[in-house]
C-alpha cells in the first residue's frame, strides 16, 4: 500500500458525478479486498429462483444493479459482512412498519437486531433512501440504496483488512479532549451517521485512516480507529492523544500474499532446484507447444487474447479481452463458450482425458486460474488466484495422471497433480512466454532466449500425493468436526506435509479447533484423522511436530473411539519421550498421561 489515501477528502469523492458502485469498487480495493475470481456464493436468482420484479411489485433499479454487479463483494464473500440478504425485499421481521407506509427489507443483521429497507411508497424510484430499525423506530440510514452499500462496506471491510484500535466509552468520557482533537484534526467523510444497535457513529477521515465516533448509548467503544497501515493507525492515535500499547492494536485478519521478487528465468544444463524437484536436461529444446489448427471461428475472433490446442490438435480453445473462453473441435464445430473471468484472458490450455472428455484451463490478467470440463458447469471456486497476471499454461497426462503447470508474470510456476490436487511452487523466474508439459515427465519453459527442458522428479514434486489420495477415500463430509461437517479436515492434514513452517503450524492450529476434545463427545472426524496425524508425526522433517503431538495428546484426553485410536498408535510414539527437542518430550509426556488417565466417560 505505497499510495496514501486521504479519507479526509472522501466527501469530495462521494459528491463527484459518477456511479457510486465505481466508488465502492475503489474503496474495496484500497482496503485490500480482491476479487476472488470465482462465481458468486450468493445471487438473487439463488435466493428466489424464478422471481423477477414487475410493475405491481417494483424493486429499485439500484438494488438490482448491486445484486448483479461484479464489484458486489457481499455476493462473493458474505462472511465479511455478518449480515443476511433478503431477496425479494419483504416486510420487516417482528417490527412495525412506520405510520402510513410499509418497509421493504433487503438486508438484516444475523440476529435481525438491525434491518435495512426502503419505503414501499418509494419502491418505484431508481435509488431511494434506506431506513434502518433502531431503538427509536425506523430512521434514515443512507441517502440512497447505492450509498448504503458503500457505507456498509466501509463499516465492515476495514475490520478484516485494516489495523484497528478501540477506545472504550469510559476512557473518552474521562478525557473529552480526545473528541475535541478528533473534530479539529479530521474531517467528516460525508456519509450519514451509522445507526446500529444504538451506536449513532459519525465517521471522520484522514491519511489512510477512518475514525468512528460512537455517540449513541449502544456504543461500547466511543472511538474506533481503523487504518490501512500500522503507521497510519499509530499516527492517528498520537494525534488524538490516546494512550496505546502494542497489545491493544489488532492486526489485519487477512493480508494478501505478496508477489515473488524474482529475476529473469535463466538455465544451464545440470541446474536443479534446492530440493531436486527439477533438473535442467537441455537448454536447446523445441518448445513442445501444440500447433493451433486453423479454425475459421478462431480467425474471426477479433478480440482474441490467447489460443491453444490439445496435444493431438483435436480441440482448440481461445480466450478474449472480455473474459470469455471459446472451445471448438478441430473441424470448426463449436463445443462451448463460457465467461469464467472478469479480466482479459491471458493464457489457455486444454486436454483430452482417457475417455475422450475435454477439460479446459484458462488464466487472466488478475492472476486467476480456472479449470472446468468443456460443456460442463464452471466450479464456483477458481483453481488458483495470485496477484500477478497468468503468463502461460500447459497440461499433459503423466504416468501419475493429468497434470497442469501455470506460470505467473512474477516468475512463479505452480505444478498440479490434478488427480490428488497436490501442487508445488517452483520459483523459476520472470519472462516466461510459454510452457509445455511432456508425458514422459518434463516441463519445457520458453523465454525470449529459447526453450529449456526441465526433467521433473514427481516423487519430490508432490510428496503428499499419496496422502491426499488416501484422504480422498474417506467421506469427510459425512463426518463431524467441532464446528460442523468435516470438509476442511483433509486439506488441513495435507498441509501438515508442507515444507513451509507457517503453513504447517497454521494447519495444526485449525485442526486443534476442529478435532480436539472439549468436554463433550469427541468429533467423529477425529478417529479417522488420528492415523494420518500419527503418520505425519513420525516424519522427522515435519515442520510442526511439537504442536502436532500436543494435538494428538488432546485428542487422547477425550472419550470414545478417538481416544482408542490414539492408544492403538501410542507404541509408535513412545520414543518421542527421548526426543532431543524439549517441547516434543513434554508433549510426549502429556500424551502418555492422557492415554493412561483419560476416563473415557
Beta bridge partners of 261: none
Which residue intervals of 389-488 are DSSP H helices? Answer: 458-461, 465-471
| Cα distance between residue 145 and residue 130, in whole Å | 6
Per-residue model confidence (pLDDT) at position 198: 81
Strands ordered across the beta sheet of 450-456: 278-282, 450-456, 442-447, 434-438
| Cα distance between residue 335 and residue 298, in whole Å | 13
The residue to which cell 457481499 is assigned: 74
Cell of 187: 474531517
Radius of gyration, alpha carbons of the chain: 28
| Cα distance between residue 423 and residue 428, in whole Å | 15
Instruction: Phi first, then psi: give them for residue 205, nearest 5 degrees.
Output: -130, 155
DSSP string, 537-581: HT-TT-TTHHHHHHHHHHHHTS-SHHHHHHHHHHHHHGGGGG-SS
| Cα distance between residue 497 and residue 504, in whole Å | 7
Per-residue model confidence (pLDDT) at position 409: 98
Instruction: Phi first, then psi: give them for residue 453, nearest 5 degrees.
Output: -105, 120
CB atoms closer than 10 angstroms to residue 105? 21
| Cα distance between residue 274 and residue 269, in whole Å | 15
Distances (CA, A) of 42 to 48, 67, 72, 83, 137: 11, 9, 10, 12, 29
| Cα distance between residue 278 and residue 271, in whole Å | 8
Instruction: Phi first, then psi: give them for residue 102, nearest 5 degrees.
Output: -130, 155
Instruction: Phi first, then psi: give them for residue 208, nearest 5 degrees.
Output: 60, 25
Instruction: Phi first, then psi: give them for residue 472, nearest 5 degrees.
Output: -70, -15
Q: What is the mean pLDDT of the chain?
A: 93
Instruction: Phi first, then psi: give them for residue 54, nearest 5 degrees.
Output: -130, 180
Q: Which helix H or strand E contains 32, and what residues bound it? A: none
The residue to which cell 466501509 is assigned: 154
| Cα distance between residue 243 and residue 193, in whole Å | 26
Per-residue model confidence (pLDDT) at position 256: 84
| Cα distance between residue 417 and residue 524, in whole Å | 29
Residue ranges of the chain whose pLDDT lies below 50: 598-601
Per-residue model confidence (pLDDT) at position 467: 94
Per-residue model confidence (pLDDT) at position 521: 67
| Cα distance between residue 23 and residue 478, in whole Å | 44
317 touches 482 (CB < 8 A): no
Per-residue model confidence (pLDDT) at position 601: 37
Q: Which helix H or strand E contains 473, and what residues bound it? A: none
Q: What is the pLDDT of residues 230-284, one digit of tens each?
A: 999 999 999 999 999 999 999 999 988 889 999 999 999 999 999 999 999 999 9
Ramachandran region of residue 310, left (φ > 0), alpha (ψ -120 to 50) or beta? beta
Torsion of CA 373, 375, 379, 382, to 10 degrees: 60
Per DSSP, 399 falls in state T
| Cα distance between residue 536 and residue 493, in whole Å | 9
Per-residue model confidence (pLDDT) at position 600: 41
Per-residue model confidence (pLDDT) at position 273: 94
SS (H, E, C) 285-312: CCCCCCCCCCCHHHHCCCCEEEEEECCC
| Cα distance between residue 424 and residue 110, in whole Å | 39
Per-residue model confidence (pLDDT) at position 559: 78
Residue 527 CA, chain-centre distance (Å), reads: 29
The residue to which cell 454487479 is assigned: 69
Per-residue model confidence (pLDDT) at position 598: 46
CB atoms closer than 10 angstroms to residue 186? 22
DSSP string, 404-416: EEEEETTSEEEEE
CB atoms closer than 10 angstroms to residue 413? 24
Burial class (CB in 10 A: 0-12, 13-18, 19+), 54: exposed
Taken as a whole, the chain contains a residue count of 601
Q: What is the pLDDT of residues 339-374, one digit of tens each?
A: 999 999 999 999 988 777 899 999 999 999 999 999
Instruction: Phi first, then psi: give them for residue 225, nearest 5 degrees.
Output: -110, 125
Amino acid at each position: 500500500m505505497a499510495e496514501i489515501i486521504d479519507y479526509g477528502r472522501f466527501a469530495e469523492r462521494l459528491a463527484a458525478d459518477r456511479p457510486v458502485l465505481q466508488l465502492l469498487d475503489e474503496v474495496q480495493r484500497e482496503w485490500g479486498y480482491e476479487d476472488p475470481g470465482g462465481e458468486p456464493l450468493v445471487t438473487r436468482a439463488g435466493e428466489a429462483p424464478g422471481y423477477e420484479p414487475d410493475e405491481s411489485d417494483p424493486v429499485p433499479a439500484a438494488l438490482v444493479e448491486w445484486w448483479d454487479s461484479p464489484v458486489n463483494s457481499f455476493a462473493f464473500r458474505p462472511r465479511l459482512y455478518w449480515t443476511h440478504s433478503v431477496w425479494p425485499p419483504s416486510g420487516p421481521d417482528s417490527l412495525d412498519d412506520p405510520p402510513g407506509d410499509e418497509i421493504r427489507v433487503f438486508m438484516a443483521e444475523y440476529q435481525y437486531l438491525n434491518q435495512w429497507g426502503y419505503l414501499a411508497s418509494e419502491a418505484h424510484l431508481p435509488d431511494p433512501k434506506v431506513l434502518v430499525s433502531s431503538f427509536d423506530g425506523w430512521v434514515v440510514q443512507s441517502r440512497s440504496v447505492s450509498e448504503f452499500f458503500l457505507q456498509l462496506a466501509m463499516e465492515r471491510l476495514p475490520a478484516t483488512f485494516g489495523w484497528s484500535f478501540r477506545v472504550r466509552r469510559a476512557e473518552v468520557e474521562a478525557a473529552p479532549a480526545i473528541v475535541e482533537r478528533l473534530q479539529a484534526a479530521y474531517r467528516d467523510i460525508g456519509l450519514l451517521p451509522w445507526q446500529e444497535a444504538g451506536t449513532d457513529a459519525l465517521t471522520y477521515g484522514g491519511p489512510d485512516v477512518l475514525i468512528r465516533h460512537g455517540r449513541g448509548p449502544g456504543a461500547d467503544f466511543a472511538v474506533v480507529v481503523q487504518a490501512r497501515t500500522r503507521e497510519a493507525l499509530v499516527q492517528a492515535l498520537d494525534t488524538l492523544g490516546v494512550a496505546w500499547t502494542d497489545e491493544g492494536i489488532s492486526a489485519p485478519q487477512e493480508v494478501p500474499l505478496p508477489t515473488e521478487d524474482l529475476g529473469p528465468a535463466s538455465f544451464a544444463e545440470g541446474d536443479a532446484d534446492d530440493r531436486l524437484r527439477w533438473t535442467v536436461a537441455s537448454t536447446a529444446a523445441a518448445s513442445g507447444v501444440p500447433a493451433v489448427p486453423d479454425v475459421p471461428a478462431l480467425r474471426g475472433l477479433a478480440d482474441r487474447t490467447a489460443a491453444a490446442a490439445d496435444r493431438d490438435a483435436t480441440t482448440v480453445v481461445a480466450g478474449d479481452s472480455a473474459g470469455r473462453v471459446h472451445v471448438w473441435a478441430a473441424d470448426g464445430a463449436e463445443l462451448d463458450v463460457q465467461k469464467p473471468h472478469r479480466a482479459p484472458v491471458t493464457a489457455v490450455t486444454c486436454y483430452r482425458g482417457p475417455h475422450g472428455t475435454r477439460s479446459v484451463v484458462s488464466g487472466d490478467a488478475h492472476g486467476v486460474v480456472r479449470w472446468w470440463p468443456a460443456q460442463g458447469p464452471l466450479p464456483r471456486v477458481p483453481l488458483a488466484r495470485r496477484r500477478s497476471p497468468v503468463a502461460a499454461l500447459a497440461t499433459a497426462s503423466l504416468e501419475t495422471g493429468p497434470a497442469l503447470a501455470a506460470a505467473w508474470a512474477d516468475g512463479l510456476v505452480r505444478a498440479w497433480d490434478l488427480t490428488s490436487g497436490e501442487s508445488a511452487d517452483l520459483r523459476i523466474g520472470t519472462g516466461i512466454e510459454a510452457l509445455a508439459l511432456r508425458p514422459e515427465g518434463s516441463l519445457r519453459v520458453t523465454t525470449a532466449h529459447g526453450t529449456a527442458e526441465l526433467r521433473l522428479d514427481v516423487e519430490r514434486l508432490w510428496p503428499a500425493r499419496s496422502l491426499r489420495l488416501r484422504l480422498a477415500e474417506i467421506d469427510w463430509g459425512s463426518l463431524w468436526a467441532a464446528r460442523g461437517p468435516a470438509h476442511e479436515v483433509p486439506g488441513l492434514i495435507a498441509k501438515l506435509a508442507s515444507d513451509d513452517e507457517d503453513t504447517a503450524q497454521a494447519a495444526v492450529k485449525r485442526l486443534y479447533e476442529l478435532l480436539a476434545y472439549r468436554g463433550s463427545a469427541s468429533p467423529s472426524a477425529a478417529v479417522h484423522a488420528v492415523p494420518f496425524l500419527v503418520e505425519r508425526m513420525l516424519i522427522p522433517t515435519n515442520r510442526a511436530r511439537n504442536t502436532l503431538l500436543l494435538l494428538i495428546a488432546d485428542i487422547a484426553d477425550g472419550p470414545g473411539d478417538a481416544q482408542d485410536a490414539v492408544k492403538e498408535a501410542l507404541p509408535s510414539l513412545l520414543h518421542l519421550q527421548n526426543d532431543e527437542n524439549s517441547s516434543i518430550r513434554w508433549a510426549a509426556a502429556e500424551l502418555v498421561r492422557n492415554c493412561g488417565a483419560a476416563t473415557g466417560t
